[in-house]
Structure 1
Amino acid sequence: MTVSSTHSASSAEDGPKAANMRSLSRALEVFAELQRAERPQRLSDLARTCGMSLPTTLRILRVLQDFGMVSQTDKTYRVGPAVLPAARSFLENDPLVVAARPILQQVATQTARTASLYTRLGFERILVARVDGDSPLRYDLPLGKRLPLTVGAAGKILLVSASPEELQQVALAASASGHEDAEFTADDLRARLPLPGEDFAYSADERATGVLSVAVAVPNRTGRPSESIALTSPVETATEAELKASVPELRRAAGRLSELLMGSVY
């Protein structure tokens, strides 16, 4: 009787906690979808993309609005101003960003290419630091932009050691988020990855037309890197051979960054 009573009490306590965690997970999913969107989103579009009912999605949006995480104009929703203090705190205090800035500056100066640092977030990657090279790129890529792992050298290099099961998950997630078409498969993804034995990835016209990029992973103690450093150049100012010639400098930069991060949570 005592065991049964204790178990029942525990289950009663776990119920509300589990429900609260589900609610939090749903709210973060809606918020992440607003971050991916290129323009303000309608309630119906958010509900459909997130697989939630209209009332549930609306309740989540109203809570996020109360905290300034979401703003509304007419019938559309977008990320709100409360993200700016959070972003500022991250950029000023995160060990990865602080350690990477002078390293990226040195690489950009030595190679005359744009140097960028990406970190993996689930099945996507995010630009967390960038130093422009001598030749401006043809597109604007703001810090914090969510990008796929499936295209671009900086994303593909993070999947080199992925298992077949993980590649399948990445391919499905890329299709679900709109980064790839619905027919995209793990085999399609595998065909894009570096050849066995290569420790760098190269891309041309993959994520943006007229842009070449090469990237290496930043080593970490787990053996499964979650950051990458990339050099990017407009096609008219560099060739594939010239960009790949910078791989040794990228390796040195990634090694220096890894050493600096050894004493941190990274």
Structure 2
Amino acid sequence: MTAPSTHSASPADDGPKASNMRSLSRAMEVFAELQRAERPQRLSDLARTCGMSLPTTLRILRVLQDFGMVSQTDKSYRIGPAVLPAARSYLENDPLVVAARPVLQQVASQTGQTASLYTRLGFERILVARVDGESPLRYDLPLGKRLPLTVGAAGKILVASASEEELQQVVAAAIAAGHESSAFTVKELRSRLPEAGVDYAYSADERATGVLSVAVAVPNRSGQPSESIALTSPVETATEPALKAAVPELRRAANRLSELLEGSVY
């Protein structure tokens, strides 16, 4: 975590540079919202969701369009083709993804289950790598999809040791993103998390019907996990006891990945 800056604000800090940073931050908010959306979004919907005026949102969209980050059809906007080269570069060069591939292949081969790696992004998680098991899953989960931390074993294990303040933020973010209802509470979230002393999370029919999953966190130097490895299976080919019996293999995989990442930014 970056230490708070001790630099005193100068008049220049409130000038063009600060204004440019606010504009960049707003543009990233709009871009992130388009990533979350399951379908193209209208200008008015984006403006309302992001809490911006229509003119401001439109200006941002036009700049993103100029760079190919956003495409427009009729009156709706969606992610543009310029994200593909960026995604390719990430998948080919990111230390986490490169190190994870052989680890996931090994654990999938040993267990016969689908092995997946997730990384935390703010108050959501993203699937960054996957190796299919012997039995295909009932749903297609593409790389890069934003998912909640509040459901699914891979999400819950990432907040299992979080503070009360952070859990409140997780709940608020899940409600704001539409992952949970407005009645969702920290107490309900805690009831979903592993009990004290348990280092894995389990889920059944939480994010997708007919799917079982177990996950462990990948250790890192900060002590607060930002990645998790999960094994997932259709209910027809696995049981809760059988999936939990694979936790030792998951632990070894997570520790191996942590070792491979030593000395990197992770």
Give the TM-score, by structure 2 length. Answer: 0.96
Distance 1:259 1:131 in 2: 20
Distance 2:31 2:50 in 1: 10
Q: Which residue of 2 aligns with 1:134?
A: 134
Summarize the Cα distance change of 1:242–1:16 in structure 2 as closer, same or farther, 3 Å threshold: same
Q: Which residue of 1 aligns with 2:232?
A: 232
Q: Which residue identity lines up with residue 124 of structure 1 in the other structure?
A: E
1:143-222 correspondence runs (5 A): 143-222=143-222
Q: Which residue of 2 aligns with 1:260?
A: 260
- CA shift, 1:82, in A, is 0.4
- CA shift, 1:25, in A, is 0.7
- The structure carrying a bigger helix percent of its residues is 1
SS at match of 1:140: coil
Q: Which residue identity lines up with residue 91 of structure 1 in the other structure?
A: L
Deviations 1:201-246 (A, max 9, x none): 0000000000000000000011011000000000111000000000
Q: Which runs of 4+ in 1 moved over 3 A?
A: none
Percent identical among aligned pairs is 85
Distance 2:166 2:15 in 1: 31
1:34 maps to 2:16: no
1:91 maps to 2:96: no
- CA shift, 1:145, in A, is 0.3
Distance 2:20 2:218 in 1: 36
Distance 2:234 2:114 in 1: 10
Distance 1:123 1:52 in 2: 21
Deviations 1:145-201 (A, max 9, x none): 000000000000000110000000000000001111111111111111000000000
Distance 2:138 2:246 in 1: 21
SS at match of 1:237: coil
- CA shift, 1:21, in A, is 1.0
Distance 1:60 1:191 in 2: 41
Distance 1:23 1:184 in 2: 32
- CA shift, 1:17, in A, is 1.5
Q: Which residue identity lines up with residue 71 of structure 1 in the other structure?
A: S
Q: Which residue identity lines up with residue 157 of structure 2 in the other structure?
A: I
Distance 1:153 1:11 in 2: 48
Distance 1:166 1:234 in 2: 32
Q: Which residue of 2 aligns with 1:250?
A: 250
* Count of residue correspondences: 259
Distance 1:18 1:186 in 2: 35
Q: Which runs of 5+ in 2 are unaligned?
A: 1-7
Q: Which residue of 2 aligns with 1:15?
A: 15
Q: Which moved more, 1:256-265 or 1:180-189?
A: 180-189
Deviations 1:16-74 (A, max 9, x none): 22111111111000000000000111111111111111111101000000000000000
- CA shift, 1:13, in A, is 4.9
Instruction: Return the index of the structure with the highest Cα Rg.
Output: 1
SS at match of 1:236: coil
- CA shift, 1:14, in A, is 3.3
Distance 2:89 2:101 in 1: 15
